[in-house]
Amino acid sequence: MTSITVLFTGANRPQATRSSLATAILRILSSQALAKLPKGEGSKLIVVDASIEVDALPAVKELQDNHGIDHLDIVIASAGVSYTWPSVAELKLDGLRGHLDPNVYSFITLYQATQTLLQKPSKEPIFTPIGSTAGCIACVFPPPPPPPPLSLNQLSIPNAAYGPNNAMVNWSTVRINSEESWLNALVLDPDWLQTDLGNAGAFRFGAEQAETTIDASCNGMIKVINESTKEKDGGKMIGWEGGIRGYR
């Protein structure tokens, strides 16, 4: 069976630690912890310490020079933060900038750094950010239970720092898919996960924990990636269970 090389960023986040897909990882906090992750039979885990925004190009070069990585089949951009939930009126520019650096700038530099290696696989490569419906302009599907109230097609949850970041990533992914005929670029929506960030957000808005388990979401997203094609999914936001999300 032909081996698949996957670059997974942000693997220190809990949703990434359950996935055995990753063979190369950028922007991690604990190399020792990642080295202990379970690995699929015949797979190899390579851990690269790097600041994804500043060192994406050197880190990818390290993968080539020191680890013999000559192509990438799949790039999953999972690095990101969400730590403040203001209204637009209350949004501090420092808070917006603090989200832009790891959520948007790192996404763009990762794509630029990996584009050449993504062009080398024999089959259709995939570039996908782990996105969020928080970046949708309006709600086009029912919110998860218990549903927060809707106000003019917007969830009544203040999200003026994180939401615009996701909108930028969503737009960029659709554009990448349009610009590159050889690349399947799509957004993966893991849902509201029971991670530290997800549960903190749930608690902030009155719920005991987030809705979706890590295992269910990761297994679902792996299935989506394995079955994805540009013709079917390119430019779309796909939920962990395979459903198509809306952007507007």
pLDDT confidence of residue 66: 85
pLDDT confidence of residue 117: 95
Instruction: Average the pLDDT over 129-156 and give the result.
Output: 68
pLDDT tops 80 at residue 196 = no
Question: pLDDT band at 11, cuts 50/70/90?
Answer: low
Lowest mean pLDDT among 18-32, 54-68, 103-117, 183-197: 18-32
Q: Can you tell me whether residue 111 is helix, strand or coil?
A: helix
- Whether 210 and 217 have beta carbons less than 8 Å apart is answered as no
pLDDT confidence of residue 61: 86
pLDDT confidence of residue 30: 44
pLDDT tops 70 at residue 12 = no
Extents of the domains making up the chain: 6-245
Per the listing, tokens 């020079």 go with 65
pLDDT confidence of residue 158: 84
How many distinct helices (H) and strands (E) make up the chain?
Answer: 9, 11
Q: How far are the Cα atoms of 39, 63, 152 from residue 45, in angstroms, in the given order? A: 7, 12, 46
Reply yes or no on domain 6-245 having CATH 3.40.50.720: yes
Instruction: Average the pLDDT over 134-140 and give the result.
Output: 75
Q: How many CB atoms lie within 10 A of CB 229?
A: 12
- Whether 246 and 141 have beta carbons less than 8 Å apart is answered as yes
